[in-house]
Amino acid sequence: MAWQPSTISPEQQLQYQQGRANARQENLRGQAQTRYQSGLAQADYSNDLYNFNTDQNRRREGMSSPFIQGGIFRSGIYRDALRKYAIDRLAGQNQLSRAFQNRMAGLTFQGRDYNDQYAQTVANLYGNQYAAQASIASALKGIL
């Protein structure tokens, strides 16, 4: 029977495997959290946009009354007020959209960070495992 060099112990092997499993679980938990936050962000944006549009529509509906009562409905003053209303409405919608896009970009980077942490942890664990195995092999080579 030929002598065979040993490798790391089964306990050590189990520790490395458990470390990789823990890293994977943490990554999955982080990704799920990011997806949940993304869904909340989309729901918040939809609600905010609906409320904004409702408020703007009410504002627009009430705009003409003072101009009609003042007798200047067909004047340039009313058209100017409509133009300012339209500009303000677009600016408000753009602001809501920009805030939503920034929030989603942050969540994208958060998800990417979870992936990067997972990859780094697994690489470190494999590196440590292979270093331990190489150390044992080197020690055994010196004996032979």
Mean of all residue pLDDT scores within the chain: 88
Q: Is the pLDDT of residue 27 over 90?
A: yes
In this prediction, residue 92 has a pLDDT band, given cuts at 50, 70 and 90, of very high
Q: Is 71 left (phi over 0), alpha (psi -120 to 50) or beta?
A: left
The SS3 call for residue 5 is coil
Where do we find the tokens 């918040």? 44
Residues 6 or more apart whose Cβ sits within 8 Å of residue 82: 63
Q: What is the mean pLDDT of residues 133-142?
A: 78
> Taking residues 19-48, what's their average pLDDT?
97
Rounded to whole angstroms, the Cα distance separating 88 from 69 reads 24
What distance, in Å, lies between the first and last C-alpha atoms of the chain? 16
Name the residue type at position 126.
Answer: Y
The pLDDT of residue 3 is above 50? no
Per-residue pLDDT, averaged over 116-127, amounts to: 95
Q: Give the whole-number percent of the chain exceeding pLDDT 70.
A: 90
Q: Which of 68-77, 99-108, 125-134 has the lowest mean pLDDT?
A: 68-77
Overall average pLDDT of the 55-79 stretch? 78
* Torsion 91-93-99-105 (CA) sign: negative
pTM, to two decimals: 0.73
Give the tens place of pLDDT for each residue, 96-116.
999 999 999 999 999 999 999
- Asked if residue 90 has pLDDT above 60, the reply is yes
